[in-house]
Structure 1
Amino acid sequence: MLRRAISSSSRNCGGALYQQCRKLSQRYTDATKSSAVNTMVLRSLKDHYLEVSNMSPPPKVAPPSEFLIVKGALDSNGPVLQRQYNNEEINISVMRLANIVEEDVAAADDDDDRINQLFVHIDVSKPAKHKSLNFLCGLYPDALGIHSVSLRPKSKSGEAIVFSPNMFTGPLFETLDEKTRDAFHNYIEERGINESLFPFLQAWLYVKDHRNLMRWFRSVGLFVSGQEAMKEIDQAKGAANPNAPRVARGT
């Protein structure tokens, strides 16, 4: 009887040990697969990062002399150029037209045409006014066309313009009579806003896109490798205990 009990106990222990080993083996297999996939992703990200970092930048282009480049513009979604005109402050923001139109419409255009189409926002403000005059324009190498003109509440310096879908932005520019349209074109032309801005703004967008792309490859790589998570943990620990010693980790 004792022998049967020992035998039964051995079988039970053996079965439990087998199940435990099987679970550990499965975890090891899953971890190995996950590690292999992560390695493939990281290798691909690194290859693309190096490829992008070796791309030749466009020649340096200066904006028209009356405009200044807004400090920190490459790392924000706010204005790119700024100038003073009499008592007015003029801010210019830009993005590629291909980034805001429908994908099927953009795909119908040639790549060169899409690159050469910029969407420009011009904000004209005065010290004593609570609103600013806004122009939304299409900018091309040889022309600038106004899409709309509206009065909007002033935005804070360096902030991107936020458009509310419920806000009346005025009539469609194309519905205005020709005399009024010409007058508005002369208004912005007098303030130095014309196709002469295109070379700088196109080169500036290239640099910004290049920087954002490299930042994306690096950030995703840090996340996949777990280093970004460790950085967040360190920051959280530091905030909870500012006097705790910090451990340096490689990037």
Structure 2
Amino acid sequence: MARLIQMARRAYLSSSLPSSPKTLISRLQQSPLQIEKPFHNSLNQVFQTRNYITEMRKSAFEGNILRILRTEIQYESEYAPSKEPVTEFNSFTVEDRPGEQWVRLRRKCGDKEEIKIEVTMFDGSIPVPKSGDDAQGEDMKLHISLIVDVSKVEGCDVLEFICSAWPDCLEIQKVFLLKRDGMPAAPYTGPGFKDLSDDLQDSLQEFLEARGVTDELAVFLHEYMMNKDKTEFIRWMGTVKSFIEK
């Protein structure tokens, strides 16, 4: 009886197991193990949510900037709006340079002489006491730099004046000769204007005044630059707004 049971067990095992390793591999290939993906879908949803929140925040920030810019542009345009820049002052032609911090003035003086002035926007200030009997505190006195070139004929050397324009006066800071054929690396440009003798200072001042470079020009330039400063500010805000809107 025991032998019959043992023979039956061997027959069962031989029928249920693969006859060879190749048969086992074949069965595994036909029925691969089903491995569950490790939360890929959930992670994608998390990343998508984060990206959505980031875009929403970015959109909110940009929207806030645009709102402020539009308000500022409207305010600056409606409250004391800038004027159309003038193109002439006395005998000078005025060449505005939109988007730049410079303005150029030109004029002829006689048949051979030409005056060219390069003018900055406001580039400095100094504190001054407020005017009036009851005034307290300080005001700021704005400064403008000028480069005045006086040339006799085309191709000739240039007498150059470095000047300061204050709201009510014009001051010479430096005078030197600018050579057309090239300046040395370290040219001697003379002493400071205030180190010259009083007579020479007065003569050089009169030289410029005879060519229209006067205190009146300084007053005009301050008025002009106040207007240009507002115009350039509005233009700058417009360019920033256009960039953010893209």
TM-score (norm 1): 0.69
Residue 223 (structure 2) aligns with? 203
> What per-residue deviation string (whole Å, max 9, x for no partner) do you get for residues 53-107 of structure 1?
113247887854322223x44454554321100211111222345x2x4xxxx47
Out of 114, 119, 128, the position equivalent to 2:141 is: 114
Q: Which has the larger share of helix?
A: 1
CA contact (8 A) 1:63 1:200 kept: no
Distance (whole Å) between structure 2 residues aligned to residue 119 and residue 57 of structure 1: 25
Tell me the matched-pair count. Answer: 205
From the superposition, tell whether residues 220 and 62 of structure 1 become closer, same or farther in structure 2 (CA, over 3 Å): closer
Out of 171, 174, 183, the position equivalent to 1:148 is: 174
Cα offset for 1:153? Answer: 4.7
| AA of the residue aligned to 1:217 | M
Higher relative contact order (CA 8 A, sep 6+): 1
Matches within 5 A, 1:21-36: 21-36=45-60
Which consecutive segments of 4 or more residues in structure 1 shift more than 6 A?
58-62
Matches within 5 A, 1:173-184: 173-184=193-204
From the superposition, tell whether residues 147 and 26 of structure 1 become closer, same or farther in structure 2 (CA, over 3 Å): same
Gaps (5+ residues) in structure 1? 155-163, 228-251
CA contact (8 A) 1:136 1:148 kept: yes
CA contact (8 A) 2:101 2:121 kept: no
Residue 205 (structure 2) aligns with? 185
> What per-residue deviation string (whole Å, max 9, x for no partner) do you get for residues 170-192 of structure 1?
32111112221111111101112
From the superposition, tell whether residues 213 and 141 of structure 1 become closer, same or farther in structure 2 (CA, over 3 Å): closer
CA RMSD between the two structures: 3.2
Cα offset for 1:24? Answer: 0.7
Residue 107 (structure 2) aligns with? 83
Tell me the secondary structure at the aligned position of residue 145 of structure 2.
strand
CA contact (8 A) 1:63 1:197 kept: no
Distance (whole Å) between structure 2 residues aligned to residue 89 and residue 66 of structure 1: 12
